[in-house]
Amino acid sequence: MVDFEDMRLFVRAVTDGSLSAAGRELGLSPAAASKRMNRLEQALGVRLLQRSSRRLTLTEEGSIYYERCLAIIADVDDANAAVGLGQLEVRGQLHVTASVDMGRQYIGLIAAGFAAQHPQLKLRLTHSDAMLDLFEHGVDVAVRSGTMTDSRLVSRLLALNFRVVCAAPSYLARRGRPASADDLAGHDCLMLHRPGQAILPWILQTPEGPRTLRIDPSITCSDGDLMRALAVAGHGLAFKSAWDIAADVREGRLVPLLADVILPEANIFAIYPSRCYLPARIRLFVDHLQQALQQREREVLDTVRNAMT
């Protein structure tokens, strides 16, 4: 008979990469953790982990069992949460990261409001347009737009979003308004250049199908908020998130362009390391964040869409 807590220990050990570390998190000595791991393997009749002094390696059977355990434990934790069991006090440090623009306009204030509701919580905010490694930087929740590529992470949709080409009225008065994607090549373009990554092309969904535009930028910068400020100042066209520019569009500082282009999705997600053993501070913060963003979603998207007509 498999002990459910032994299953938890196994999953925690794989997640942490260390049986001793997993044991400490669950209040077990290294000897007790090793004994319980042996008990689990004996109950199953298979070896799940190859253990050495330096690392843990999943066996083929262990890999299969790990994926099934993740789903089972997540279901149990969700069931407990649904009836109020296992609701721990919100305390400890919550490290949240977001892009500079999204962080300054929305996420920082929402996170600070959440922290104000929980006096035992210590909030750490990191605003960066670099794609930080959550494990390396000790991040609890990252707010990102677009698709997730790291299979070790879990994502949760927070709000719908899209990207749009935009420019300041002063720039359009000086250089003219592009009528189609073909016109963009003759304009000054501002582009985001994340450290250590190539400059990404602009991909637009035109009536003729997807168009990948290899733009020769007039200015590149590593800060999305600075790029927005440069666009507002009239230095060129920018390809920005609707959430980033909604306030500027509302106040007439930026104009969304190319009404015939199908707006490419850039939905906003919360990214975190695992569904299992999710502390109350993370689970409740993501709930709070989703609710706060969804309350503003229609206003933000309609503001930008309506300005394109």
Q: Is there a contact between 286 and 270 (Cβ–Cβ < 8 Å)?
A: yes
User: What span, in angstroms and rounded, lies between the C-alpha atoms of 307 and 309?
Assistant: 6
Same domain, 146 and 135: yes
Question: Residue 30 in 3-state DSSP?
Answer: helix
Q: What is the mean pLDDT of each run of 10 residues along the chain (309 residues)?
A: 84 80 80 89 89 77 85 72 58 89 94 94 89 79 77 82 94 92 87 76 76 83 91 95 95 91 84 73 92 95 88
CATH number, domain with residue 96: 3.40.190.10
Cα–Cα separations (whole angstroms), residue 231 to 35, 237, 253, 255: 61, 6, 9, 10
* Tokens linked to 116: 């104000």
Burial class (CB in 10 A: 0-12, 13-18, 19+), 213: middle
pTM, rounded to two decimals: 0.71
Q: What is the pLDDT of residue 152?
A: 63
Task: Kindly give the residue spans of alpha helices, DSSP state H, lying in the chain.
Answer: 4-16, 19-25, 30-44, 60-82, 100-102, 108-117, 134-137, 169-175, 224-232, 242-250, 280-307
Same domain, 96 and 150: yes
Same domain, 171 and 230: yes
* Tokens linked to 248: 């500027």
CATH number, domain with residue 69: 1.10.10.10
Same domain, 170 and 250: yes
Same domain, 140 and 180: no
Q: Are strands 268-272 and 154-159 parallel, antiparallel or unpaired?
A: antiparallel
- Other beta carbons within 10 angstroms of residue 267's beta carbon come to 15
Nearest to 242 by CA among 257, 260, 220, 222: 257
- Whether residue 77 is contained in a domain is answered as yes
Q: What is the pLDDT of residue 58?
A: 86
Can you name the residues that pair with 81 across neighbouring β-strands?
A: none
- For residue 220, the enclosing domain spans 163-266
Give residue 258's region: left, alpha or beta (phi > 0; psi -120 to 50): left
Q: What is the pLDDT of residue 86?
A: 47
In the chain, the amino acid numbered 37 is M
Can you name the residues that pair with 144 across neighbouring β-strands?
A: 269
Same domain, 169 and 258: yes
Q: What is the pLDDT of residue 196?
A: 67
Burial class (CB in 10 A: 0-12, 13-18, 19+), 258: buried
Question: Residue 258 in 3-state DSSP?
Answer: coil
Q: What is the pLDDT of residue 89?
A: 67
Residue with tokens 């500082």: 253
Question: Residue 121 in 3-state DSSP?
Answer: strand
User: What span, in angstroms and rounded, lies between the C-alpha atoms of 153 and 248?
Assistant: 33
User: What span, in angstroms and rounded, lies between the C-alpha atoms of 220 and 300?
Assistant: 26
Nearest to 15 by CA among 270, 272, 271, 273: 273
User: What span, in angstroms and rounded, lies between the C-alpha atoms of 41 and 65?
Assistant: 11
Same domain, 193 and 233: yes
DSSP annotation of 106: I
Instruction: Domain count for the chain, please give it.
Output: 3
Same domain, 142 and 273: yes
